[in-house]
Every structure is written in structure tokens, then in C-alpha cells.
Amino acid sequence: MGDTQDWTAAPGAAERARSVLAAAWSCAVTADGAREEYVGAHTVTGEGAVRLAVPDDSALFTAAVCAPRQEPSAVLEFADVAPVPVRGRIRARLYLAGWFAPDGGTLLFQPTRVVLRQSSGAVVIDLDDFAAARPDPLAGAEARLLTHLADAHPDAVERLTRLVRPESLHAATRVLPLAVDRHGLTLRIERTRAHGDVRLPFHTPADDVAQLTERMHALLAQASAAACPRALQRQRADGDG
């Protein structure tokens, strides 16, 4: 059980940022002192540029058409929201600073600065690393996978807590799946006035949903094995009585 928690393989910052970008359904755009929210209006190129569909008569489109090249400057913000209703659902925020240019009836945003802010702090991501990174292969399916795990298999979540150190579960009122990626599953442990996260890494990365299913079965098998000594201890105690 100790080995399971000592290896904390996780996505790098650039991969994490690209995953947030790939899964986000909405974005907030701040330009010329104004902030606008766009829902279902953006797509992402292979290099991480953002293509935004806005009305031709919008102030943002007009500013991009009339501005000199590489202007106006703007900031795009993407929120990574946990699909399961946990306390503190914003898992990360991604900020892209850069410039818009008209492109085939849309606006193409080229980032010149990328910042990923998580609970552990903010990190500035190298632009070449950001362009070369690819989203986690499970990013598009994560919401469906986590809600299914939480709603249909709460017993499995309970079993997985056997892989968590007892001190991490002290005063816990609820445990829910917070995140999953090809490297592992993260559980949110909620207490009355606080919460914490515990990561359960997979033995090898999962590149698709089929492999994820196998990795989850492996974690559950570890959880069952971890429970055996406790069960034996209880049996011996009962026998002694």
C-alpha cells in the first residue's frame, strides 16, 4: 500500500494546460477593458491556438479587424470544473495572453503567455512546450467517467479509500472522485471545515477508456488485498474472545 502512494506520477504542466483547454466548453475573453463570456464558441488547433467564432458585428471582431497586426492584446480564461459536485469545484484555471487576428470569418488567438493556476500555485508554461504538448487522452471522457463512478459505483469509491493512509481519512465526512487522467485517479476527501486530495496512481498509464477500465480494476484489486490483513486481524480478535 505504501508503494501505491509513494509513486505520484501526474501530467506535466503543459499537458495539464492542454487538457484544460481541450475539455473546456466556455471561455472568458478580456480585451480593451471589457470582459465577455463565450459558450461553445471556440476550437483549438494542434499547436494550442484558439479559434473563436464571434458575430461579425461584435466589438471584439471589429477591434481585431481594425487593429494593427498582433493587436489588440487580450486574455482568455478557461476554468477546469470538477464534473462531480465537490466542495471547491474549480480544479484549475488556465490563462492565455496574446493577440487576435481575423481568419476566415473567425478570430484566431495566438498565445504569447500561458499560465496555469492550480491549488498548488501558478506556473508559467513555456510556449514551445505548450504547442508541442497534447491533451490527456481521457480528457474528453473524464466528465462522463467520473460522474458514472460517483453515481453508479459509490461502493467502489469506498473500497478505494482502503488505499489511502488512515491519517488522510481522519474526520472525513465524504469521499468523491475528483479527477482522472491517464496517470491516475484523484479522490477528494471532505471534512466539516476543510478538504484534501489524495492521488492513486496507475501501475502504467492508460491511453484509452478500455485501458482505464483495466487500471481501475487493478486499483480495486489492490484495495481488496489491502483489506485482507485487517479482516484477518478482526477474525483473530473474535477468536481470542
Cα torsion 8, 10, 13, 15 to 10°: value is: 170
SS3 (DSSP) at 138: coil
Domain range for 213 is 142-240
Of 132, 150, 184, the residue at which a domain comes to its end is 132
Say whether pLDDT at 4 is over 50: no
Strands 106-118 and 50-52: antiparallel
- Whether residue 137 lies inside any domain: the answer is no
- Whether residue 92 lies inside any domain: the answer is yes
Q: Supply the pLDDT for residue 240.
A: 54
SS3 (DSSP) at 5: helix
DSSP-assigned states of every residue in 146-173: HHHHHHH-HHHHHHHGGGS-GGGGTT--
pLDDT digits (tens, 9 = 90+) for 220-230: 999 999 875 44
Say whether pLDDT at 233 is over 80: no
Q: Supply the pLDDT for residue 2.
A: 34
Pair (146, 124) in one structural domain = no
pLDDT digits (tens, 9 = 90+) for 23-42: 999 999 999 888 999 999 99
CA nearest neighbour of 44 among 94, 82, 8, 87:
94
Q: Supply the pLDDT for residue 68.
A: 73
Pair (227, 161) in one structural domain = yes
Does a cis peptide bond (omega within 30 degrees of 0) precede residue 72?
Answer: yes
Q: Supply the pLDDT for residue 64.
A: 82
Of 96, 112, 132, the residue at which a domain comes to its end is 132
Q: pLDDT-based confidence at 238, cuts 50/70/90?
A: low
Q: How far apart are CA 21 and CA 139, in angstroms?
A: 10
Q: Which of 18-27, 125-134, 226-235 has the lowest mean pLDDT?
A: 226-235
Strand blocks (E) in 146-240: 174-181, 184-190, 195-201
pTM: 0.87
pLDDT digits (tens, 9 = 90+) for 62-111: 888 787 766 668 999 999 999 999 999 999 999 999 999 999 889 999 99
Pair (122, 146) in one structural domain = no
Q: How far apart are CA 168 and CA 189, in angstroms?
A: 8
CA atoms within 13 A on the CB side of 226: 19
Pair (114, 8) in one structural domain = yes
Say whether pLDDT at 45 is over 90: yes
Query: How many beta carbons lie within 10 A of that of residue 164, not counting itself?
Result: 21
CATH of the domain at 89: 2.30.110.10
Burial classification of residue 138, based on how many CB atoms lie within 10 Å of its CB (0-12 exposed, 13-18 middle, 19 or more buried) = buried
Q: Supply the pLDDT for residue 72.
A: 61
Report the number of distinct structural domains present in the chain: 2
Q: How far apart are CA 179 and CA 93, in angstroms?
A: 15
Of 132, 152, 173, the residue at which a domain comes to its end is 132
Q: Supply the pLDDT for residue 148.
A: 97
Mean pLDDT of 142-169: 95
Q: How far apart are CA 5 and CA 142, in angstroms?
A: 22
